[in-house]
Structure 1
Amino acid sequence: MLRLARLVAACALALLAALALLSSSAGAQATPGRSVVIAFWSAPIIDNYSLVGLPKGHEPHDLFLRDLARDPRLSLGLLSSVQGDYSEEQALLDISQGTRQPSSLYSPRNPYPLRLDTTTSTVLDWQRSVRRARKVSITLKPGLLASSVPGGGAYVGVGGRNTVAAVAAANQHGRVAAVSLGPAQTLATRVQQMAARKRLVVVGVSPDAAGRAQIDQLVANRPAQQLLFVAYLPPTPPQQSLSSPASRLLKQTAFAMGRTGKVGGVTSATTRQDGLVSTIDIAPTVLDYLHVKVPKKVRGTDIKAGSRVSAAHLENLRRRWADVRSSRQASSMRGVVAVAGIVFLVLGLLRGIRAAVAPALRIGALGLMWWPTTVLISAAVEPSTRLKETAIIAVLAIALAIVTDRVVRWPRGPAVPAAVGLAAYTIDLAFGGDLLTRSVLGPSVAFGARFYGVSNELEPLLPILLLVGLAAVMTGRPLTRRTPWIYAGAGLLLGIVVGWGRLGADVGGVITVGLAVAAATLVMLPGGITKRSVIVALLVPVAAIGGLILLDLGLSGGDHLSRNLLRTENSRELWELVARRYELAFRVLKSGRTPAYFLGVVLAVLFAIRNRRWLYGESPHRAWIAVMVGGLGAGIGGMLANDSGPILLVNSVVALATVTAYLLAGTRARFLTQQPAAPAPGPPPPPGERPAETVLAG
């Protein structure tokens, strides 16, 4: 009996061990019969249309996109190729590792020239590329995709052509498991033969019109159990600049997916845009399709078929994203100031210069407060040129400002643009943020940094709008014990809108809003500021991040902040997340005109503190002091919490200068409009001596 019991126990242990081995190996075995083919077409993009006789909008990319759109078996979209400067090699490296970083962090900035050594089936200069990536982050693992697929990746190409596409098939040692080079006519046949041997096949089609025909063959020959990706990755241009349309258009290229099941516009949780995915989304989609466990260092998400999109719609989106962030943001703000200047000239012509100053200041300041809202209206119209967009935003903002100033008396006017603006952004974000994404204040879709949610430029403006609206409502009312709770509650709601992954999805924005509202709430405490209240205010950003993680896990399914945090494997990776932000912020501080802007806003803050009584009056309502303190907190918090760094402080100070101009129009109205007093009668001055001038004190 004892022997039987031991035998049963031994069999049970053996069965458990076998099950454990099966479960542990399941993540390393691809499902039999399934295969993935990734085909790259690399015809050069055309910049000078006059030399080739093609009308604008008919370069190879658009023609290729339209070809793909005609095939009902393909899900169509655009591929965010890189984050920063475009490079064909970097796009392929990002695909191979399933994650990416800004090009400005790399040293050297541009990747080494990569090509396949057909004699050894290895990618030349691979180890140098690995070391280059390692210097940026330990999460960057070139070749991780092919290393994760059992049997590795294979490359099929045309003999005598560029073999750089083989980078996507190389494992972490730079080796390609199988290579097939031959005539262009046999490419499609050789691809299917290779797919019968290897689960992952990368294809480099001919970089000309013949390549498009080869892709048509790949689509036609695709078996039911094969996942097909088609991507356009043009060669790296010799020069790039924001002023070059070709340079900007390189960052969203034609992409399509062939997969059994639903067909529509490609999308992913990375972009949340129908018709847009990222290079880092290819690796997890491949591994998930092959039923292989996705490594934690892969940061992309699965590509799915969403709502159907047309080629014309994608072309318009592509041009909008490429153009809207290059120059229209600053142009639209300058337009508001220019139209306000015209209003001042008209008022001066009708009333005289002194009578025109105060109303012009009020209207100009209110116009800038309406600016974030009119930006959304312009995005709905999508003007074709920068001049048209600037005109729409500027004229509409000043028109709304004039109406507001006529209907609502100073200083309650800002309550209207604040309430309308905050409501408009909340509603738009709740419905996916389509208007914000296409606006001049939207995220940097074209540069591959952010695809949805609140942008860094908008981040400090929203809490300042909130504080301005509260101040306009609170003016003339006594402080009570409920007042700080009103501020805290409003800040909490705005923090959810800005930070929650389903809405604004801006983690740094939570810190910015938290510091802004906490600083303003301190000012509004009826009993004054205490050490305890200061400590609580400093802990608000930490508590906000913790609350955001719980909110993201509970209601967003961990698809935003918590997804990235849960994929970190050690404290070093967490430290990299923080250190990388400050490294990028310091690079921003050193670049272009930013040092001059930063110095200017620091001097402006010191000037306002030194002359605060003249600017804001002897005893301004505490709510307006809270605006200034909270707005400065938003700038400092944003500068410390975001990779754009000093830009957020600059934006905050510009917003506070707008509020100051509005207040100045009321607190110093007599100084601005009063005529010089007539000199008092008295004895005439001695011969040769001028009479003393009358000076108006504030």
Structure 2
Amino acid sequence: MRKMTIFVVGICSVFLTVFFSFTTSILSQNRPTVIMLLVPELTRQDIRALYQNAAFSFLNQAAIGEMNMRTAVSLRDIHSVLTLGTGTRAAGSEWGRNAYGLSEKRTTGLAMYRQYMGEVPAMVRNGTILFPYASVLAENNKQKNTGAIPGLLGETLKKHGIRRAVIGNSDMSGKVSRLSVLLTMDRRGVTPQGWIGEETLIHSPFFPGGKKTDYSFLAYHVRQWQKRGTGFIAVELGDLVRLARYQSVISTQRYLQLRQQVMEEIAKFTETLTKERTQGQKIVLLSASLPDSEIAEKKRMAPVLLWEDGRGGGILTSGTTRQPGLAANIDMAPTILTWFGIQPPIEMKGMPLRTEREIGHDEFWKKAERIDHIYATRPAVLYPYVGMTITVLVLSSVLLFSFDRWKSTKEKALRILSYLLPFVLLVPFLLLLLPVVPGLPSPFLVVLLVSGVGLGLAHLLQRLSFAACYFWIGIINWVPLLLDGFTGGELICGSYLGYDPVIGARYYGIGNEYMGVLLGASILSIAMAGEMQRRHARRLVLTLMVLIVGLVVFYMAWPEGGSKAGGILVFLAALVYGIPAFSGFAWRKRYVAALLGIGMAAACLLFVLNYQASGAEQSHIGRAVGELARGNWQEIGRIIERKLTMNWRLILASIWSKLFIASFVVSLLLIYYQSERVGRIKRQYPWFTTGMKTISFGSFVALLVNDSGIIAAALAMLYALVPILYRLLWNGEASKEYTQHAPI
């Protein structure tokens, strides 16, 4: 009987052991797992080279994208990795490189942890990774008011029972660098399990520095962690950083050969993981930083690849960028949490990544090259335009104030200006059409094309009457711009005056450049319509003002359209000013208060409607309204601070500030020293002068309410100042002998 009991108990024990092992295995296979491969100094060119190697066809199964690397400070890896782990633009510190495994430097690691963090948690055991300087990073971000919380990703995963592990490093001789710990640690700087010391490296006498990553060691432990149900595993592959340290002391050919070798090893390691991928598992390969050479060449977008369940392929995007193939570094932490079914904390400002499989990799490579090309060549195109515009404004002013001198040259100058003044206002329209030009034209070719087409168009338009000429200049600028905006913004996206995803300034909607063009051109065309139809001018102008500005405000408020909070306020302000100005009503306090109240109520309504959009459809306007609704005044303060800081920087250093100052100075000179001639134009063209005042008022509001308002104000002002100069140069005493060069 006793033997029978022992036998039965033994059989049951074996059965239960096998049952629970089998159940655990099944559950671990179905449980979501995320493996993040963090490769410092990985570039898009490295990935492109692997794509061209037939041995790595597994890359075609990945969803690919490129990632904006903007942080609260710079593009250095210490800031980039902390940004990846906090979901908002963060400021790292050199202390952030120093993490220790208890099995590596137990005494030193524990002592430093106690010094900076206090008592060591009870859960700490052999294999735990400690980051002693979590409080240092937290204080650094608090002082800089970034809103970033170091360890937020790991802390959120811990609260939801997701196990975390980290492995690998970017150590070099005499320098510790273990930034991947910033992704897995909780707010106390603890990662429950990991290997980040010398044990992750092997000695290699043929590799600069003599040490490189032990991929077999990494693969073994990743497998073991997966079997034990670890949910989030961060793997740091630092050989590119180690190689870059010796770039200056080895030949270029040898460096490129070794870089290719490292990339092939990374690809083989990644392929091994993808082949062993279980259901529900996701593998992300992304860059933690960019080489200095890439930054110098203005190639500042980092690659990101994702392997997940499904058909494979496709390209990545997110609610932050809304552009296929583009993501932001702040999107990674919310994405990881979403994969585990966790709602990202409100402190994370990014949006989850999603895959668009309808678009192939070939389209991604073309778009990525175009983004790099536009970013690198933008100064070579825009600087000559702004410089020429300032020169035209100054030359026009000189001719106005010194018309009786230099009689031998004034006729030639007037003839040239009769083309250049309209041309200045046509350039934004021509830059909008530039994306239809095939290939990637050089800056010289762009300038040549814009100049040739623009001057030819100016020659045709200046043959019309003054009112008709500038009416069509206005129409040509704002109608195609608005049509493109309502149909997806493909032209704005590829224009030199459009988005700048490289610096993360604008990914979608309408930027300050074209907002200024839209403001100036639309009001100019409305005013000139009144000049062309004097008999029914008032009704026509007021009707057009309400319809056009109302349409533009709707476009600005629409999440899929302009999505420009400042634009809503600017155009509502222009409407509030323009209606009484064009109507000829007296400015009464009661009337002004009523209009301001209606305008603010309309703006609030539009903001709330934007907030009602859900998920990825909600724009940054809606998210800002959400922060306001939650009473998150700290974040609202940070938004205002960022906008003021950006505007001040642009005022001090931007070429647009120079254009605005030049326009402002010329306007003051006209008001104070050419008042008689300006008064004559006012009597001759009352609707035109009222329109110019409305544009000037809108420009002033744009300067106040936009984070880059100086840009919008500078471009909008041109559509008021250039027609006035044009008319002054060919009006009255200043041009008695030269009226044949300009329209009446």
Q: In 2, Cα distance between the equivalents of 1:70 and 1:333?
A: 48
1:432 aligned counterpart, secondary structure: coil
Q: In 1, Cα distance between the equivalents of 2:637 and 2:274?
A: 45
Q: 1:440-455 alignment to 2 at 5 Å? A: 440-455=496-511
Shift of 1:267: 0.9
Q: 1:549-588 alignment to 2 at 5 Å? A: 549-553=607-611, 559-560=618-619, 561-567=621-627, 569-572=630-633, 573-588=635-650
Q: In 1, Cα distance between the equivalents of 2:94 and 2:166?
A: 21
Match of 1:653 in 2: 717
Q: 1:99-248 alignment to 2 at 5 Å? A: 99-100=88-89, 113-119=96-102, 120=109, 121-137=129-145, 139-149=147-157, 150-151=161-162, 153-157=164-168, 160=171, 162-181=177-196, 182=200, 183-196=214-227, 197-208=229-240, 209=262, 210-234=265-289, 237=292, 246-247=295-296
1:233 aligned counterpart, secondary structure: strand
Q: Size of the alignment, in residue pairs?
A: 614
Verify the 8 A CA contact 1:86 1:250 in the aligned structure 2: no
Verify the 8 A CA contact 2:393 2:663 in the aligned structure 1: no
Return the match for 2:444 from 387, 400, 404.
387
Q: 1:393-408 alignment to 2 at 5 Å? A: 393-406=450-463, 408=464
Shift of 1:291: 1.0
Match of 1:255 in 2: 304
Verify the 8 A CA contact 1:480 1:526 in the aligned structure 2: no
Match of 1:297 in 2: 347
Verify the 8 A CA contact 2:317 2:355 in the aligned structure 1: yes
Q: Once superposed, what is the RMSD of the aligned Cα atoms?
A: 3.4
Shift of 1:498: 2.9
Shift of 1:469: 0.6
Matched residues, percent identical? 16
Verify the 8 A CA contact 2:131 2:181 in the aligned structure 1: yes
Moved more, 366-375 or 352-361: 352-361
Q: In 2, Cα distance between the equivalents of 1:66 and 1:636?
A: 53
Q: 1:1-80 alignment to 2 at 5 Å? A: 33-43=31-41, 60=46, 62-63=48-49, 71-80=59-68
Verify the 8 A CA contact 1:428 1:436 in the aligned structure 2: yes
Verify the 8 A CA contact 1:354 1:672 in the aligned structure 2: no
User: Normalised by the size of structure 2, how large is the TM-score?
Assistant: 0.75
**Counterpart residue identity of residue 631, structure 2:** N
Change (3 A) 1:486 1:531: farther
Shift of 1:583: 3.1
Return the match for 2:701 from 637, 647, 658.
637
Q: In 2, Cα distance between the equivalents of 1:179 and 1:529?
A: 72
Q: 1:478-517 alignment to 2 at 5 Å? A: 478=535, 479-480=537-538, 483-517=541-575
Shift of 1:625: 2.1
Q: In 1, Cα distance between the equivalents of 2:597 and 2:382?
A: 34
**Counterpart residue identity of residue 234, structure 2:** V
Match of 1:679 in 2: none
Unaligned runs of 5+ in 1: 1-29, 46-57, 238-243, 343-350, 677-698
Verify the 8 A CA contact 1:282 1:302 in the aligned structure 2: yes
Shift of 1:152: 5.2
**Counterpart residue identity of residue 691, structure 2:** V
**Counterpart residue identity of residue 563, structure 1:** R
**Counterpart residue identity of residue 279, structure 2:** A
Shift of 1:166: 2.2
**Counterpart residue identity of residue 663, structure 1:** R
Shift of 1:153: 3.1
Verify the 8 A CA contact 1:271 1:451 in the aligned structure 2: yes
Match of 1:329 in 2: 382
Q: In 2, Cα distance between the equivalents of 1:250 and 1:530?
A: 55
**Counterpart residue identity of residue 220, structure 2:** T
Q: In 1, Cα distance between the equivalents of 2:555 and 2:503?
A: 24
Shift of 1:112: 5.4
Change (3 A) 1:303 1:630: same
Q: In 1, Cα distance between the equivalents of 2:232 and 2:697?
A: 51
Q: In 2, Cα distance between the equivalents of 1:34 and 1:77?
A: 22
Verify the 8 A CA contact 2:478 2:517 in the aligned structure 1: no
2:606 aligned counterpart, secondary structure: helix
Match of 1:309 in 2: 361
Shift of 1:212: 3.2
Verify the 8 A CA contact 1:464 1:630 in the aligned structure 2: no
Verify the 8 A CA contact 1:519 1:626 in the aligned structure 2: no
Verify the 8 A CA contact 2:390 2:662 in the aligned structure 1: no
Shift of 1:448: 1.3
